[in-house]
């Protein structure tokens, strides 16, 4: 399966050092009331993409995440189960994934298919498959946003994501605009539903002539790995390879099962 990339946008970092709500209000004039940091981050990434490419009202929208809005889940657990208070109405609304999709769609002005989806593994690759399947029928373009919000203490997400305590968990938002049409594309991305064994991946690595990035969860591969992580890291490295004009092979792992995606730059 292959999709063509028309534009990308990325942000990753520590939100304690960056007031994303203030940025939305001052630079983009976005009404950020009644929204939490996870939604702010998703909308911010969408606005960055809008600066780089024309967004059509009929573009499809997909939002995915590694663990979703875990920050608000922690807050809700605190005042409901520990402080014995009632859940706040806007916290309940913001806990729903479709709420994030709604605010992103509103900020972009899109009114077509709008989906929030999370898989318990390979969520970015699975989202790419969903995008490809839908565009094969609709022949539209699609916007895919991958949002991951780091929360404290980091040990919670490290356990959920099955990475070691030495790996730093970051907040990140990455978007791509996809099409089945190659005209004006800046890159193509290839992926498949096939899973690989460790031996198959080791054999594949011997044949590659592209830049290779391996997820920190691929602990059995004897190679240097990144010391930073978020569940949708693949989305960030797709964008990074395109911005650096470097072809890329990204390898992800979950419970001894491996998946691969490839990026070919066209500029």
Any idea what the CATH number is for the domain that residue 18 is in? 3.40.47.10
Selected residue with higher pLDDT from 120 and 149: 149
| pLDDT tens, position by position, 64-88 | 988 767 666 666 655 555 666 666 6
Tell me, yes or no, whether 90 and 217 share the same domain: no
Tell me, yes or no, whether 163 and 206 share the same domain: no
Q: Which of 187, 209, 244 is the last residue of a domain?
A: 187
Tell me, yes or no, whether 66 and 133 share the same domain: yes
Q: Which of 144, 171, 187 is the last residue of a domain?
A: 187
For residue 221, the model assigns a pLDDT of 85
For residue 119, the model assigns a pLDDT of 83
Range of weakest confidence among 70-84, 92-106, 229-243? 70-84
C-alpha 96/C-alpha 100 separation (Å) is 7
For residue 77, the model assigns a pLDDT of 54
| pLDDT tens, position by position, 141-195 | 999 999 988 776 555 555 556 555 666 667 899 999 999 999 999 999 999 999 9
Total domains, the chain: 2
Q: Which of 151, 172, 187 is the last residue of a domain?
A: 187
Tell me, yes or no, whether 136 and 105 share the same domain: yes
Tell me, yes or no, whether 88 and 114 share the same domain: yes
Domain that holds residue 227: 188-265
Tell me, yes or no, whether 170 and 223 share the same domain: no
Output the average pLDDT for the chain: 86
Query: With bands split at pLDDT 50, 70 and 90, how would you rate the model's confidence at 120?
Result: confident
Tell me, yes or no, whether 181 and 83 share the same domain: yes
Tell me, yes or no, whether 180 and 196 share the same domain: no
For residue 237, the model assigns a pLDDT of 94
Tell me, yes or no, whether 174 and 210 share the same domain: no
């Amino acid at each position: 399966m292959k999709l063509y990339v028309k534009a990308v946008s990325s942000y990753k970092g520590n939100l304690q050092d960056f007031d994303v709500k203030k940025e939305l209000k001052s630079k983009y004039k976005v009404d950020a009331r009644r929204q939490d940091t996870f939604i702010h981050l998703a909308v911010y990434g969408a606005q960055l993409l809008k600066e780089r490419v024309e967004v059509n009202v009929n573009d499809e929208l997909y939002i995915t995440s590694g663990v979703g809005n875990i920050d608000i889940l922690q807050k809700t657990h605190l005042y409901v189960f520990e402080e014995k208070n009632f859940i706040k109405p806007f916290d309940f609304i913001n806990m729903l994934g479709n709420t994030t999709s709604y605010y992103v769609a509103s900020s972009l002005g899109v009114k077509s298919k709008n989906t929030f989806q999370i898989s318990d593994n390979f969520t970015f690759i699975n989202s790419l498959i969903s995008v490809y399947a839908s565009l094969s029928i609709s022949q539209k373009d699609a916007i895919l946003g991958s949002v991951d919000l780091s929360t404290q203490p980091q040990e919670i997400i490290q356990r959920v994501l099955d990475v070691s305590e030495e790996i730093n968990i970051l907040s990140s938002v990455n978007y791509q605009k996809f099409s089945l049409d190659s005209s004006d594309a800046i890159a193509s991305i290839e992926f498949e539903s096939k899973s690989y064994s460790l031996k198959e991946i080791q054999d594949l690595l011997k044949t590659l002539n592209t830049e290779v990035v391996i997820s920190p969860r691929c602990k059995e591969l004897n190679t240097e790995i990144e010391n930073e992580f978020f569940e949708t890291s693949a989305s960030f490295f797709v964008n990074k390879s395109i911005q650096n004009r470097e072809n890329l092979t990204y390898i992800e792992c979950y419970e001894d099962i491996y998946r691969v995606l490839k990026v070919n730059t066209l500029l």
